[in-house]
Amino acid sequence: MTGDLSWRTAIRIAWREARASTVKFAFVILAVAVGVGALTGVRGFSRAFHSMLIREARTLIASDLSVRTFAIATPDQDAVMNRLASRGVDHTWITETISMAAVEGKPPVLVSVKAVDPAKYPYYGSLRLDPDAPLTSVLTRDTVAASDDLLLRLGLSPGSTIRLGGQPFRLIGTIVNEPDRMSGSLNVGPRLLITRDGLERAGLMLPGSRAAERYLFRIPPTTNVEEVRTSLKTAFPESMIADFRQAHPAIESGLRQATTFLSLVSLISLIVGALGVATAIRAHLDQRLDSIAVMKCLGARSAQIMRIYVIQTVVLALIGSTLGIAVGLLVEAVFPSLIAKYFNVRPGIQLDWVPAAQGIGIGLLTSLLFTVPPLLGIRRVRPSLIFRREMAEAKPSWRERIKQGRPAMISGAALLIALGLIAGSLTSAPPREAFRIGGYFVVAVVVSLAALSAVAFVLLRSLRRLSRHLAGFPMAIRHGIANLYRPGNHAEAILVALGVGVMFTLLVYVVQRGVIGEMMRTAPPGMPNVFLLDVKQADRQPVLDLIAAQKGIEKGPDLISTVSAKLATINGQALSNDKTKGFARRFLYTRAVAAVEGKPPYADVLNGAWWTASGGPSVCASEDAVRTLKLKPGDQINWTVGGRSIPTRLACVVRIDPIHLMGRLDFLFDERLLRGFPVISYASVRVEPKSVAPLQLAMYQKFPTVTVMNVADVLRIIQEVVDQISIEVRFISAFAILAGIIILASSVAGTRFRRIREVVILKTLGATRARIAGIFSVEFLILGAVAGIMGSLLAMAFGAIVIKRLLKADPHFEPAVYATAIVATALLANVAGWLASFRILGQKPLQVLRDE
Amino acid sequence: MGPSGSGKSTLLGLLAGLDSPTSGSIVLDGEEIGGLSEDRMAGVRGRKIGFVFQSYNLIPTLTAEENVLLPFELSGGNGGGRERARELLRMVGVLDRADHYPVQLSGGEQQRVALARAFIVSPPILLADEPTGNLDTVNGQRILELLIEMNRREQTTLVLVTHDVALAAHADRIIMLRDGRIVSDERKA
């Protein structure tokens, strides 16, 4: 073979070699398909969801344009809406708030209340009730509709009477479909639909009450939407505006972040799949050393021989990626049911060429990148190998090995850069941000793989050493362990591949448990467990008296008064919308500030001095606000409160114990400055858990408009949300485990002939099937268990870092979780191992021995 | 003895119960083994038959000593196996390689280990399929000498398949096969 090895010949050799390794390569294809499937599934669903957001944009906001704000429209804003109405731009007003709903003899329940005008709402889409009836005819000032969970909790049925704000309402049925459910606010607890007149009658709304206001607009086709939007943006500068020409900004932003995160999780599965391709190609090359040496003897150059294996990799990756698109469609089909509780959407499954092409491209590129290092090994195969196969080659020196490994190192660096670019491209962020995320991703992958490889190396070495001292142990255990070191087994690669999936899935679970555990633990004895919202100025003392008369009060009550105020200028400078980033953006909007008569006992002055009567109009600020806004005592801060300007001077910086309600507020005003403005009070109290329901009932009977929030209920809701998010992430990260398991199966299939030979030798020497099955089972179980241990160790370590650094909490060790993971991985590995060893035990010895 | 394709290895496999005859019967120690289940036959082999293959057939994941011990463990033996294995390795001259894996041994060394393995349970019958076929002349000769010496020492019935006339000269009885049939059966006086 002199001259060039033609592509045609290369393809022919590649095809024939692949045909001889069908089973092994079938698993490789599956591993790539799983990774690509997760990626295309996530991105396909995201695009379908996005298309649906645009297609159904009018339905999702129940209008052509919606304005959401947290304050009732001022007369000026009303005037703007009325001017638009005179041009045919109709509007309707929706209020969403939380309150207590009750029935006779049961403790009240926290509900999300949505007040609408049934004559106009919804402009688009339909609100369906069960029993079915037109909203206009059944929803009146005396009736309500509720979500089915409220009916269950309070034992209601259509026709029952329910009390809201102390007023009776007749239940007309359950809400089956609410078009703008996703764009709503304050979704806490069961939902209650009421008319605006009904809301008025219930008396829930006070100036300063916590509520979201939405103004929905129907714009005639002849009117310029942008013009309407601009005039509303000018009138409502603090609002979030959505119109039918775009996907809903809040949902869109959440979707983008979720897509980025889940795409990166999918990329991990794909990396595991690519590791599988690389391992299989390496094993394949090991078995083809003779053929490679012969080709070199006949004059073929390394680059020409590499061509054969590049063709094989490309074909495997292409088939795997194409199959991955089908897997992706399955993922798309499953995804809606995972998020059904919060987003009842069925965007429909259809083959979308953009994510499909992206999946094929990334699948192909990743597989090729990971295969480069083993392919470079072809350069080191010496033609003389065929003449002196029996002789072990002298081990090169370290210097020699580093020199030999240089191309692999360069290709490794290129691989990492390419991986970073791929990860960055999946983020749909601006280039600088994409680079940053890509960089972090690569660092995380490298650290994880390096840590897993190190742990795999140590565990395998320890096991081997240990196996020499297991003379008294059953033969199956000793031989099972010995099998881990079978030539071509690539136990370390399998462990790393399987360990990545276990580690990641477990890490998500550990962090989820950490978040929930932290929530539970941060409610220690002494921390308030009941909050009272929207207490009117006049009710302050009676509410305190009622609480004092209740049984089971352990601590409190702590009551604070707030007024809504907007920070206008600091030392004459307005806050810039463009320059204010991150958490500081909250200061751009109207927020609650505390009105206090003097220094609260739990507030420590860190800098400056508490104001005095002679010190002029003063405020004190929290440490966080001072740091974020770069303030110092003496700074001049001007405020807008209820349309009036109030100048103040920053008197001091305070630190407030975060368990107090005041800890949530950034500015403490001298209450004399805020006299005449609507004041809303909040209270917190620590109550024995069994006394919470009687307190809620007593409070509801006397002050039906006061919302009594039980922290336990809120924690349960948060836990449900955290659980839900965790399930979705684990669903995608489980693909990495699947890919790892497939790689294990691929490796087992790759050593099939060696295993068959062992089976027949053992049979010839007198071993029964059960005994051989025991040896192989021990091998698979150990592989799985070691991968499980590795994944658990690293999930524990990384989980502790995440919980400690990000959640600022102490990690808790839960042995049962890790034990379950280890056992489950071992069993999974055993199943996969035996699936790949199909019919191996039934081999007739003579047949195999004669074929040698 | 016989040329390639004459049925030597098939006959050896049938004698070992590695395959079942389509007709006729195989009687070992007065027991008909043709109809035994696979696992029962494995038990019979473990107790009564030792093997030496042309291509050694050591288990690659076990050391030389562990390979030798394997039939001992499979036959349920406990105690004294390790000493016997080391004794046999000493006899075949590879005791210093006891902790080596097959891949670390030369062909001749692997076949010595295979010989030691064949004798570990002192089987009454030893079946050897072209045991020197993969070795050079010097190593082949040494293995042959060892085989005969150990056979004599262990009082084993040795059934040897070969087409090497020099090797056959050491046998008490020579059966010639051609095209699956016995064409001659000579006994030495």
Query: Could A850 and B13 be called an inter-chain contact, meaning their C-beta atoms sit closer than 8 Å?
Result: yes
Q: Could you give the angle at the alpha carbon of A670 between the alpha carbons of A667 and A672, nearest 5°?
A: 140
Sort out which chain B residues have CB atoms less than 8 A from A758's CB and list them: 59-61
Query: Could B39 and A486 be called an inter-chain contact, meaning their C-beta atoms sit closer than 8 Å?
Result: no
**Does A222 have pLDDT greater than 70?**
yes
Using DSSP, state whether A164 is helix, strand or coil.
Answer: strand
Using DSSP, state whether B163 is helix, strand or coil.
Answer: coil
**Tell me, what DSSP letter sits at residue A74?**
P
Query: Could A768 and B39 be called an inter-chain contact, meaning their C-beta atoms sit closer than 8 Å?
Result: yes
Q: Take residue A833 and report the two structure tokens written for it.
A: 């191992």
Predicted confidence band at B146 (pLDDT cuts at 50, 70, 90)? confident
Query: Could A769 and B38 be called an inter-chain contact, meaning their C-beta atoms sit closer than 8 Å?
Result: yes
Query: Could A846 and B73 be called an inter-chain contact, meaning their C-beta atoms sit closer than 8 Å?
Result: no
Any chain A CB within 8 A of the CB of B19? yes
- CA–CA distance, A247 with A81 (Å, rounded to integer): 23
Q: Give rounded-to-5 percent helix, strand, coil for chain B.
A: 45, 15, 40
Q: Measuring CA to CA, how many Å separate A798 from each of A45, A452, A832?
A: 30, 12, 28
**Tell me, what DSSP letter sits at residue A471?**
T
Residue of B39, B82, B107 lying closest to A390 (CB–CB):
B107
Which residues, 6 or more positions from A699, have their beta carbon under 8 angstroms from its beta carbon?
A532, A543, A546, A706, A708
pLDDT at A208 (0 to 100) = 64
Check: CB of residue A314 under 8 Å from CB of residue A364: yes
What is the chain A residue with the closest CA to B56? A761
Check: CB of residue B32 under 8 Å from CB of residue A829: no
Q: Take residue B18 and report the two structure tokens written for it.
A: 């590695």
Cα-flanking dihedrals φ and ψ of residue A93, to 5°? -115, 130
Residue of B60, B74, B104 lying closest to A765 (CB–CB):
B74
Check: CB of residue A452 under 8 Å from CB of residue A499: yes
Q: Take residue A402 and report the two structure tokens written for it.
A: 């580093």
Q: Identify the weakest region by mean pLDDT among A26-40, A107-121, A458-472, A634-648.
A: A458-472
Using DSSP, state whether A708 is helix, strand or coil.
Answer: strand
**Does A636 have pLDDT greater than 50?**
yes
- CA–CA distance, A59 with A73 (Å, rounded to integer): 24
Check: CB of residue A683 under 8 Å from CB of residue A557: yes
Report the sign of the C-alpha dihedral through residues B163, B165, B168, B170, in that order: negative
Check: CB of residue A191 under 8 Å from CB of residue A114: yes
- CA–CA distance, A664 with A622 (Å, rounded to integer): 9
Residue of A486, A761, A847 lying closest to B57 (CB–CB):
A761
Q: Take residue A752 and report the two structure tokens written for it.
A: 């099939």
- The average pLDDT across A817-834 equals 93
Q: Which amino acid is at A848?
A: V
Q: Measuring CA to CA, how many Å separate A515 from each of A7, A723, A812?
A: 56, 10, 11
Sort out which chain B residues have CB atoms less than 8 A from A771's CB and list them: 74
Mean pLDDT computed over every residue of chain A: 84
**Does A446 have pLDDT greater than 70?**
yes
- CA–CA distance, A286 with A292 (Å, rounded to integer): 10
Q: Which amino acid is at A292?
A: I
Residue A114: in which H helix or E strand, if any? strand A109-116
Distance from CA of B38 to the nearest CA of A (A): 8
Question: Could you tell me whether strands A553-570 and A591-596 are parallel, antiparallel, or unpaired per DSSP bridges?
Answer: antiparallel
Q: Establish, for the pair of chains A and B, how many residue pairs have beta carbons separated by less than 8 Å.
A: 82
- CA–CA distance, A207 with A766 (Å, rounded to integer): 90
Check: CB of residue A271 under 8 Å from CB of residue A35: yes
Any chain A CB within 8 A of the CB of B2? no
pLDDT at A326 (0 to 100) = 92
- CA–CA distance, A663 with A673 (Å, rounded to integer): 21
Q: What is the pLDDT of residues B37-85, one digit of tens each?
A: 878 888 888 888 888 888 888 888 888 998 998 888 888 777 788 899 9
Q: Take residue A383 and report the two structure tokens written for it.
A: 């033609």
Using DSSP, state whether A689 is helix, strand or coil.
Answer: helix
Helices (H), A105-162: 135-138, 148-154
CA atoms within 13 A on the CB side of A845: 31
* Cα–Cα nearest to A801, from A446, A519, A272, A447: A447
A363, with CB counted inside 10 A (0-12, 13-18, 19+), is buried
Round the CA-based radius of gyration of chain B to a whole number and report it.
16
Predicted confidence band at A186 (pLDDT cuts at 50, 70, 90)? low
> ipTM greater than 0.85, yes or no?
no
Residue of A475, A766, A847 lying closest to B42 (CB–CB):
A766
Distance from CA of B149 to the nearest CA of A (A): 22
Interface test with A, best of B57, B113, B125 (most A CBs within 10 A): B57
Q: Could you give the angle at the alpha carbon of A509 between the alpha carbons of A504 and A515, nearest 5°?
A: 125
Q: Take residue A695 and report the two structure tokens written for it.
A: 């307190």
Interface test with B, best of A765, A778, A779 (most B CBs within 10 A): A765
Query: Could B61 and A769 be called an inter-chain contact, meaning their C-beta atoms sit closer than 8 Å?
Result: no
Query: Could A846 and B43 be called an inter-chain contact, meaning their C-beta atoms sit closer than 8 Å?
Result: no
- The average pLDDT across A142-151 equals 90
pLDDT above 70 covers what percent of chain A?
93
Predicted confidence band at A391 (pLDDT cuts at 50, 70, 90)? very low
- The average pLDDT across A52-75 equals 85
Predicted confidence band at A198 (pLDDT cuts at 50, 70, 90)? very high
Q: Measuring CA to CA, how many Å separate A342 from each of A182, A416, B95?
A: 8, 37, 72
Q: Take residue A55 and report the two structure tokens written for it.
A: 């297609």
Distance from CA of B186 to the nearest CA of A (A): 27
Residue of B13, B61, B74 lying closest to A483 (CB–CB):
B61
pLDDT at A318 (0 to 100) = 94
Cβ density class A437-466: b for 16+ within 10 Å, e for less: bbeebbeebeebbebbbebbeebbeebeee
- The average pLDDT across A231-254 equals 83
First to last CA, chain A: 29
Cβ density class A557-575: b for 16+ within 10 Å, e for less: bbbbbbbbbbbbebeeeeb
Length of chain A: 852
Residue of B10, B45, B103 lying closest to A764 (CB–CB):
B45
Any chain A CB within 8 A of the CB of B125? no
Q: Which amino acid is at A449?
A: L
Report the sign of the C-alpha dihedral through residues A54, A59, A61, A65, in that order: positive
Q: Which amino acid is at B21?
A: P
Residue of B9, B57, B71 lying closest to A850 (CB–CB):
B9
Query: Could B39 and A770 be called an inter-chain contact, meaning their C-beta atoms sit closer than 8 Å?
Result: yes
- The average pLDDT across A71-94 equals 90
Cα-flanking dihedrals φ and ψ of residue A390, to 5°? -75, -15
Sort out which chain B residues have CB atoms less than 8 A from A473's CB and list them: none
**Does A820 have pLDDT greater than 90?**
yes
Q: What is the pLDDT of residues A832-851, one digit of tens each?
A: 999 888 788 887 777 777 66
Cβ density class B6-22: b for 16+ within 10 Å, e for less: bebbbbbbbbbbbbbee
Query: Could A754 and B60 be called an inter-chain contact, meaning their C-beta atoms sit closer than 8 Å?
Result: yes
What is the chain B residue with the closest CA to A771? B74
Query: Could B42 and A849 be called an inter-chain contact, meaning their C-beta atoms sit closer than 8 Å?
Result: no
Which residues, 6 or more positions from A675, have their beta carbon under 8 angstroms from its beta carbon?
none
Residues of A with CB under 8 A from a CB of B: 390, 392, 471, 475, 479, 482-483, 485-487, 754, 757-758, 761-771, 844-847, 849-850, 852
The helix-helix angle for A711-750 and A302-338 (nearest 10°) equals 150
Predicted confidence band at A597 (pLDDT cuts at 50, 70, 90)? confident
Any chain A CB within 8 A of the CB of B75? yes
Q: Take residue A117 and report the two structure tokens written for it.
A: 């005008």
Sort out which chain A residues have CB atoms less than 8 A from B106's CB and list them: 390
Residue of A482, A766, A771 lying closest to B71 (CB–CB):
A766
- CA–CA distance, A661 with A639 (Å, rounded to integer): 22
Query: Could A479 and B62 be called an inter-chain contact, meaning their C-beta atoms sit closer than 8 Å?
Result: yes
Using DSSP, state whether A422 is helix, strand or coil.
Answer: helix
Predicted confidence band at A2 (pLDDT cuts at 50, 70, 90)? very low
Using DSSP, state whether A578 is helix, strand or coil.
Answer: coil
Beta strands in A617-675 (DSSP E): 618-622, 636-641, 644-656, 667-670
Predicted confidence band at A229 (pLDDT cuts at 50, 70, 90)? very high
pLDDT above 90 covers what percent of chain A?
17
- CA–CA distance, A133 with A194 (Å, rounded to integer): 15
**Tell me, what DSSP letter sits at residue B188?**
-
- The average pLDDT across A709-727 equals 78
Sort out which chain A residues have CB atoms less than 8 A from B129's CB and list them: 849
Q: Measuring CA to CA, how many Å separate A848 from each of A181, A761, B42, B51, B57?
A: 67, 9, 16, 15, 11
Distance from CA of B82 to the nearest CA of A (A): 10
Interface test with A, best of B59, B83, B126 (most A CBs within 10 A): B59
Residue of A758, A766, A849 lying closest to B59 (CB–CB):
A758
Sort out which chain A residues have CB atoms less than 8 A from B16's CB and list them: 764
pLDDT at A170 (0 to 100) = 94
pLDDT at A831 (0 to 100) = 93
- CA–CA distance, A763 with A745 (Å, rounded to integer): 24
Residue of A471, A479, A844 lying closest to B19 (CB–CB):
A844
Predicted confidence band at A392 (pLDDT cuts at 50, 70, 90)? very low
- CA–CA distance, A286 with A754 (Å, rounded to integer): 13
- Residues pairing with A92 in the sheet: A216
Q: Take residue A528 and report the two structure tokens written for it.
A: 């308030």
- The average pLDDT across A785-792 equals 92
Q: Take residue B64 and report the two structure tokens written for it.
A: 């030389």
Distance from CA of B43 to the nearest CA of A (A): 5
Q: What is the pLDDT of residues B73-106, one digit of tens each?
A: 888 777 788 899 999 999 888 999 998 988 889 8
Sort out which chain B residues have CB atoms less than 8 A from A767's CB and list them: 42, 46, 74
Instruction: Say how far residue A763 (Cα) sits from the centre of its chain.
Output: 52
- Whether omega before A689 lies within 30 degrees of 0, making that bond cis, reads no
Residue A548: in which H helix or E strand, if any? helix A540-549
Distance from CA of B71 to the nearest CA of A (A): 6
Task: Pick A792 or A184 by higher pLDDT.
Answer: A792
Any chain A CB within 8 A of the CB of B20? no
Sort out which chain B residues have CB atoms less than 8 A from A390's CB and list them: 106-107
Residue of A390, A479, A766 lying closest to B75 (CB–CB):
A766
**Tell me, what DSSP letter sits at residue A2?**
-
Helices (H), chain B: 8-15, 38-48, 64-74, 81-92, 107-119, 137-154, 165-168
pLDDT at A526 (0 to 100) = 65
Q: Identify the weakest region by mean pLDDT among A55-59, A443-447, A735-739.
A: A55-59
pLDDT at A520 (0 to 100) = 67
The residue whose two tokens read 């002939």 is: A753
Any chain A CB within 8 A of the CB of B7? no
